[in-house]
Structure formats: C-alpha cells, structure tokens
C-alpha cells in the first residue's frame, strides 16, 4: 500500500541548538534506515518549512503507524496521511468502472 | 485494509422524483451487494443529511477505488477516505513503538 | 445511542517519559474497561497520530460526557463527537421518508 | 435526546415566487406540527438569513433523521446537528467526573 | 435580546487540581447567579468537551459583554456569540417580508 | 442595538444587463431608504467585490431580520451579522468588569 | 484611506493582574490618543471577547502600520486589516462602472 | 497606495469557445491599458489556474474598486485584496515603532 | 523543477456519457503524452475521487502552466500546485543551513 | 524561478526587548543581503502585522529553501510559498494554450 505522508515538525524555537541538532541528526539517521528498507520511497522538502512530503510504501496502515511513530521527531510532528491508489497511466491499469457498468449497479 | 469512508450525496433538489428514487434504489441495491460481499463492514447515517459514514474493508486502495466508483450515485458524491490502523484495545495489539525504542531511533 | 468519536491527544513533547508512559498506561487501562463494558464498541488508530476514531455506544449524550471525561488523558484531548443513526443496509431499516410523503409534509 | 440543529435553506434565487411561497408555507405547516408534537422545543431565526437554529428533542438519532427528512425544504437544506448533554446548572446534575476519580482511571 | 453563546474553556492540562477545581467551583457559582437572574435562560454541555452552548437573554450587547466578562474562567475561554431573532413558529410572528413587498422595495 | 453586517451579493454572471441593472437600482433605492431612516448608519464598499460592510442600528435582531430581508438583492446574498457592543473609548464607558471583581465572581 | 481593523488580544491567562491591568491601562491611554487625533474614527467591542473592530482613518498603509504597532498590546494581538472604499449611499458617489462601459473595456 | 490583488476567474466550462475567447481577449486588452497607465505594476500567473496575483498601484480603495470593476471578466471573478505597506528594506524606511516608544505609548 | 500537483475534476453529473467518456479518453491520451515526455513523473489516484496527485517535472512554472492548461479536462479542474525541493535523504544533499550559520546571518 | 513568499513571524510577546531587537536587527541585516544579491526582488509589509509578502527570485526550490532557512527569525516563522509564472501582460508572453489546441489534446 502507498501513502502520501506530509510531516510538519514544530520544534520549539527556544530549544537549545545542541538538543535540536541531536534530534535532527537522529531523525536523519532513522530516515535513512526507512529509505534503505524501502519504507520511504520518495521524499521532498517543502521549501522554507521544516516539513516534507513523501511516498511511503508499507504492507498496511498498521505498519505505517509503526514506521511513523519510530521517528525521533514524531512527538513534535503534525502528520497528514492519504492513501494512494495506482493510476492507470503509470501502472498496470486497475479497471476503471465504466459508466455503463455503474448505471446497472454491477461491476462484474 | 480498513478505511473510514464518508459519502455525502448532493442530488440536485430539482431532479424529478422518478429519476431520484430510481437512483436511490440502484444505490441501495449496489450497497446491499457491497455489504453482502463484506466490502462495507459497517454503515451509519449522519442524521438529517443524505450522507453516511462507514467502515470499508478492502485489499487495498485500488480495490477501494473500484468499489466506490461502482456506486450509482458516485457522480453526485463528495468522498472522504481515511485509512484506519488496528487499535490494540480492540485487536491483537500491534507493538506500539515505546518511547525508549524511539529515542534510540530503532524499532527492532 | 451511537456516536462516532474522534480523540486527538496532544501531550507536550517535552513531558518526561515516565509521566507520559504512566498516563498512556492509565489511558489504556481505562479504555479496556470501556471496551469491556461495551461503551467503546469499535476503535481504530489514525496511522501516524496519537489519535483514534471509534464508535461509542451509550444511553445518551450525558452518559457519553461521563465516559469521555473519565479518560485519564481527557485534559490533553481534542474531542469531536458525531451522532450516528442506523442505516437501513446494516440494521432493521428505519423508514426513509419517501419524497411523496415529504411533499405532503406528513410522515404518518 | 436533545440536539442543537442548524438548518440553512438555499432556495435558488430564480425560483418563481409561487413555488417558493408554496414551499415556505408547507415548511411552516410541517414545522408547526413538529413544534406541536414537541419534536422542536425551541427555534430561533438567524437574522438576515433563510436559516434557523433550534433545539430538537427526539428519542434518538434515527428519529431525528426521520423528522428532519420530513421537512418539505429538506432537499435545499444544509443540516448541522450537535448532540446536547444536560448541564448541571439547568438540570438535575449528571455527576461531573472529579479530577481525583479520573486520575485513578475509575468512575465508580 | 437573545444570543446563542458558545463557551469553550481551555484550562492548561498541567494546572494543579486545587486551582483547577477552585476555578470550576467559582465558575459554577457565578453561573448559578446568571441562571437565577435570568441572564442564562438555557445551557447545555457539549459532550466530551469543557464547553457549553446556551441562550443568554440580555438587554443588549453591552450587557452581554459585562455578563460574559464576569465569568471566573473568562480569561481561558473562546467565546462565540450569535444574535438570535424570534421565529414565528415559536413566538408571536414578526412579519416575514413577503416576496411581493420586497420586489417593490417597500416594507410598509 | 448595533450590528456589523457584511453583505456579499452573488448575481449570476449570465444574468442579462437589463434585469441586473434593475435589481441594482431597486437595491440602491431601498438602501437609500434604510440610510434615511437611520437603519444603516455607515456603509463601505469592499473594493473589487459586489459586497459591502456596514453598521446597522436597529431595536433588536427581529428588526434587523425584517430590514435585511427587505433588500431586493436579499435572495442572492450571503449575510454575516455580528453584534457590536459600545467601546468605552468612543462612547460612555460601560464598566469593564475589573479582574478583581471577576476573581470574586461578582459584578455588583 | 479607511480601514476596517479587527484586533484580538491574547493575553496569557496566567499573567499577573498587576501587569495585565497596567498593559490594559496603557492600551486605553494610547487608544484615547488615536481617537483624539482622528486615527481611530469608530470603535466597537465584540461582546464577550478581548477584541474590537474599528474604522481607522489614515493617509496610507504605512501610517496604519505605525499606528497599529504603537499599541502597547500589539505584541499580543492578532490584527486583521481590510481596506474600505466609499459607498455611494453614504458618501459622494464614486462612479460605479456601468456594465455597458465594462463590456467595451473602457472607463473613460 | 499599493494592493496585492488575487483574481481567480471562474468561467463556466460549458461556455462556448467563441464567447470565452472574446471575453479573454477583452480582458487582455483592458489589462494592457491598466498596465500601461501604471495601475497594474506587476502581474504573475498562478500556474495551472485561470488566476493571477498582482501589485496594483492606485490613489486609494475607491480607485481600486473602479479599476477592478472595469475588467470584462469581473462578473466571473473572486477578488481578494490586501493593502501593502512599504518595507524598509526595499523603500525609504518608515520608522518602525521601537519597543521602547511603544512601552511608553507614544510615537512622537 | 518538481511540483506536487493535485488535480480534482468536477464534471457535471448530468453530462451525457458520450461526451463524458470522450473527454476522459482525450484526457488519458494527453496524460499518456505528458508521462511519455517526462512531464508527469509520478501519478496516483485518490481513491473514490475523480482526482489525482502527481509529481510534475518541468523547467519552470511557465512550462507547468502550459502543460496543465493543455489538459482536455482543465476547464473542469481545481488545480493545487506545490513546489518541491530535493530532500537530502533521497537526492544529493543541498546543504541544510546549520543553526550556527543562521545565528550569524550568513550562509557562506 | 519566482515565488510569492509570505513570512509571518511569531516572536513570543514575553521575549525580552534586548533579545527581540537583536534578532530583528540580524533579520534586517540578512534581509538586506538577500535584497542586495537579488534573491528578494520585492518586499512589502502587511500593515499591523510582523509579517511581509515578497517576490523571491531563485534558481529553484532548493535555493529558495537555503535562502529562507538562512533567516535569523526562521525558527519563529510561518512560511507560505507560491510558485509564480510569467504573465503575458507584463513579460514576453508564454503561449497560452488556446482552447482549440486543448480540445485536440495537443500543444505542438
């Protein structure tokens, strides 16, 4: 299953640099692991924000929960999750229910 | 995978009763099929609205898309989808990442 | 009466682990009691968040208030409550007011 | 059960006066019935809008759905429903869970 | 004049119980006075929240401001105020401007 | 009583000029009457929009409803109403409840 | 130029009374000066809130910025500013671009 | 005075191409005039939308209203207007009220 | 440059099937071209909606505008565009401005 | 690439003046550098707020991220970024996809 995950981190501005950099380093390390094991397929920064949007590939929502709550910065994060379905243009097309089928209320 | 699906149907008030009732009947029939085949596990009405919220159980988001677009009223619907993870209180608990593990950036 | 209840817990990230885990444990224990006594019928996690959505079954809104305010984490929660009506597809159908009846302003 | 119900009616401005006034009259008649049978306990206009807010008293959400969908103007309405619990200041107080009880996770 | 007033109290979760309960008690006492003198006509709890919605009856908005700012919990409150007009169904009807009159731009 | 009233008119762009200008003229005429009789105390345009914000002075919310629904454009309007209280800086000051009084829950 | 300015002050509830009342007094004094010099033309309280809405009359937005940032409570304020244009009903009418002129894309 | 103006045009998708292109052409022509006479100082497209954001330079809000309502597409537009003040970094600095001055409530 | 583009298509439910399917086919064809030429790098369906989210790779915002407005369904679309920056975890890292550098206001 | 960037700074009101003024000075200095090197093309204050909106000109989103995170006040900022495309009225026109081309799904 693929999810579009938007992570916005709200570290207190007054947090001392040492603790802040340690957390950011731990986050980067954990992130690298999740990229390496394929959990995080794609990741982009939202320019100007301590936030990113990425495509996470996991067996199911339970696994997604475990992966996300493993992030060192999780406690400071707002997490938005959207399930993604395959699009016929970029993957073996899932049969789009044609309008005809829908009008008869059947998809067989 | 389970999804919390919120369907709000906006039929034009001026639609003639005949067409309206035919669509509602086709929708009910298709809904019965989706309940029977286990796709729709639970369904509740939102009182006072032509809207419902339900728990849909499908293999993945692609299957959810096919099921939802098979609804006769789909063209008139606003669809909100939220992925659901199991909760330890009501299902075999998925290990909650303890804070200790998180601080060390590991979940093994 | 059934309610769809969405609980989002906002524990301060800086809360020390000991107090945090004690609260989470007390919450889980209280939750287990509410599941056991049937107040919480269904419960799902929202992946990636310290939040859940569930179906609570209570005599009325007063009872719901007592149950929700009994949660150890209540002071840190945002609580969203929606009343649920039965849906004819998944329960003994409540007569949907047919359009004809409505036009005459009667439901007898 | 009591609900705070907010009804906003969006009749098309171009609807001819005859049909508009007939619908408004049927709505008033149905409303009078619901006031007479105690379903609508209180009703106020929101000044300047074709909208009202009221306290509806019904056995449960199913009954509320039947009552609301019986309104002649229902098809043109946006309906917002909020469950109301009794307040100790204006009704026999429901025991507020004291903080002490909550800390011990019990309400007995 | 009648107002629908929605009060949401946001007490810091970490406030010690003694101060919290003292404030809640003072609030209840002041509330009882406002109910007794007719300022608060109706009051309901929003289940699961430290919030209520009520009908306040005051000479005008100035009096409403004085009454609301007299609440011990006022500093911790979000206050939403809506003016209410009488509804013909539940009070001596104020003449609804008929469409005919409006088209001629007169209400005499 | 004074209200801050925000009126946004949404005339269909395709409405023919003749009907549009006739409505705008009738609206201006009715507006002039409401200014003359003191109901509209102040009125400003929101630049670039068919919308205005104004101070309406009426005995109560019922009178405000009658005045607003008398506007020829009312059917095409979104109406936002806010009750205004006097401010001590620009009117004979209404006693601001001092913090001391509030702490003791009294305003006498 | 005239602006509709909405000021919502969020003083920390725990601020000690002495500092709170000193700030409120300094704010009132500064406000009186701005009323006296004509910068603040009109001011109303929003009942139940530490907030006001007013009409500020200044040469331009720079002057408005200087006036607003001179308020002792400015650091605790949310400031909403809307430019106001004259309305023909209450001031020497600015020629409304007639539809005819607009269709020809000219305003001369 | 400078304003940041955001114009979003909502032409009905079913409008025939001829009328649509005629309106777009008239809009471009009027826009060119407003650029030439300096009313529109800067203009950018919001990629993917029939919308633009621009800096309009006008004597005051009345002039802005006249300019905006002169646009052939005005009837189909949502218009958002924000007053802009000069910034000391890019224009002769307007004295920022120093905190010291503010504490004494004076700006002389 | 990469953009996260969210396209929500709102075809009128009453559009006849023939025109609807012709448009959908033309859209799919144009989409295939944009995938083939690399403009659309990734594309996913949002389950249950006639909407997709994708990563578009274009030289700049002008090129993005041309590509998006070339879509046959463009007139019926709501388009949301977000610029994406590279993330060090999944691309050659762009130097994150370290806190130290920022405190000295330099990025050299 | 050009971006419309909206920066809202939320400094804690209780921050002591010395630290506050030092940060504001460092911010102004860094801002001057970004204006000098052409990164910030235009900048305006939003009257009454510690906020500005500006046009930033950078090679791409990565460069924008580096520039924005170099601001001394970045930790206290809410950052909104919108990509800007050229508008034919104020720059060498990028060919607007004519409706004809779009209907044929081609832009060659």
Give strand ranges (E) for G34-95.
40-45, 51-57, 77-86
I13–B76 C-beta distance less than 8 A: yes
Largest CA distance in chain G: 64
Cβ pair F64, F56 in contact under 8 A? yes
pLDDT, greater one: H42 or G96: H42
**CA pair distance C71, C61, nearest whole angstrom:** 16
pLDDT, greater one: D71 or I96: D71
Residues in chain B within 8 Å Cβ distance of C46: 82, 84-85
J90-108 residues labelled b (16+ CB within 10 A) or e (exposed): beeebeebebeebeebebe
**CA pair distance C69, I18, nearest whole angstrom:** 56
Classify residue B108: in a domain, yes or no: no
Number of neighbours of residue F35 by Cβ within 10 angstroms: 17
Residues in chain J within 8 Å Cβ distance of G79: 48-49
| Mean pLDDT, rounded, of chain C | 88
Give the residue from A52, A41, A46 showing the smallest Cα distance to I83: A46
Does C63 contact chain B (CB < 8 Å)? Answer: no
Nearest to H3 among G30, G71, G83 (CB): G83
| Mean pLDDT, rounded, of chain D | 88
Whose tokens are 């009008």? That residue is A103
At E91 the pLDDT is 83
> Region H73-88: what's the mean pLDDT?
98
In order along its 108 residues, chain B shows pLDDT tens digits of: 999 999 999 999 999 999 999 999 999 999 999 999 999 999 999 999 999 999 999 999 999 999 999 999 999 999 999 999 999 999 854 444 444 444 433 222
Q: What is the CATH number of the domain that holds J34?
A: 3.30.70.1060
Does J89 contact chain G (CB < 8 Å)? Answer: no
Look at chain G and report how many structural domains it folds into.
Answer: 1
E21-51 pLDDT, tens digit each: 999 999 999 999 999 999 999 999 999 999 9
Query: Which candidate in E29, E37, E97 is best for mutational testing of the F interface (most F CBs within 10 A)?
Result: E97
Give the residue from E48, E56, E101 showing the smallest Cα distance to E79: E56
B26–A70 C-beta distance less than 8 A: no
**CA pair distance G95, J27, nearest whole angstrom:** 45
What percent of chain F clears pLDDT 70, i.e. is strictly above it? 84
Residues in chain F: 108
F45–H68 C-beta distance less than 8 A: no
Classify residue J46: in a domain, yes or no: yes
Residue H43: what are its φ and ψ, rounded to 5°?
Answer: -150, 130
Classify residue F53: in a domain, yes or no: yes
Chains that touch J (3 or more CB pairs under 8 A): A, G, H, I
Query: Which candidate in D1, D66, D79, D84 is best for mutational testing of the B interface (most B CBs within 10 A)?
Result: D79
> Region J68-82: what's the mean pLDDT?
98
Classify residue I29: in a domain, yes or no: yes
- pLDDT of G101 over the 70 cut: no
In three-state secondary structure terms, J50 is coil
Classify residue I32: in a domain, yes or no: yes
Does D5 contact chain E (CB < 8 Å)? Answer: no
- pLDDT of E107 over the 60 cut: no
What percent of chain H clears pLDDT 70, i.e. is strictly above it? 84
pLDDT confidence of C29, banded at 50, 70, 90? very high
Classify residue E19: in a domain, yes or no: yes
Residues in chain A within 8 Å Cβ distance of B101: 70
> Region D69-89: what's the mean pLDDT?
98
At H97 the pLDDT is 43
pLDDT, greater one: D23 or J97: D23
- pLDDT of H9 over the 80 cut: yes
pLDDT confidence of H11, banded at 50, 70, 90? very high
Whether B contacts F, i.e. 3 or more CB pairs less than 8 A apart, is no
> Region F20-30: what's the mean pLDDT?
98
G65–J45 C-beta distance less than 8 A: yes
In three-state secondary structure terms, G100 is helix
> Region H58-75: what's the mean pLDDT?
98
The DSSP-derived string for F33-88 is HHHHTTSEEEEEE-TTSSEEEEEEE-SSHHHHHHHHHTSTTGGGEEEEEEEEEE-T
- The domain of G19 spans 2-103
At G21 the pLDDT is 97
| Interface pTM, i.e. ipTM | 0.88
Element (H, E) at D5: strand D2-9
H30-54 pLDDT, tens digit each: 999 999 999 999 999 999 999 999 9
Cβ pair J102, I70 in contact under 8 A? yes
At F34 the pLDDT is 98
Tokens of D59: 């056995």
Cβ pair C5, B4 in contact under 8 A? no
Does F74 contact chain E (CB < 8 Å)? Answer: yes
H45–I81 C-beta distance less than 8 A: no
Most confident of A83-92, F91-100, J94-103: A83-92
Number of neighbours of residue B42 by Cβ within 10 angstroms: 20
Residues in chain D within 8 Å Cβ distance of E2: 44
At J106 the pLDDT is 29
List the single residue in F with minimal CA-CA distance to G16.
F99
List the single residue in C with minimal CA-CA distance to D80.
C82
At D91 the pLDDT is 83
At C106 the pLDDT is 29
J2–H89 C-beta distance less than 8 A: no
Does I38 contact chain A (CB < 8 Å)? Answer: no
pLDDT, greater one: C96 or C81: C81
Classify residue F108: in a domain, yes or no: no
At I91 the pLDDT is 83
The 8-class DSSP code of residue B57 comes to E
**CA pair distance D61, B48, nearest whole angstrom:** 9
Query: Which candidate in B9, B43, B47, B89 is best for mutational testing of the D interface (most D CBs within 10 A)?
Result: B47
């Amino acid at each position: 299953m693929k999810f579009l995950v938007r992570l916005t981190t709200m570290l207190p501005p007054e947090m001392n640099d040492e603790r802040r950099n340690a957390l950011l380093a731990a986050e980067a390390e954990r992130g690298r692991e999740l990229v390496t094991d394929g959990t995080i397929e794609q990741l982009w920064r939202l320019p100007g924000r301590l936030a990113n949007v990425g495509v996470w590939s996991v067996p199911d929502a339970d696994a997604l929960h475990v992966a996300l709550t493993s992030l060192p910065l999780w406690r400071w994060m707002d997490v938005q999750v959207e399930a993604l379905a395959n699009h016929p243009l970029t993957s073996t097309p899932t049969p789009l229910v044609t309008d005809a089928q829908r009008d008869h209320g059947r998809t067989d």
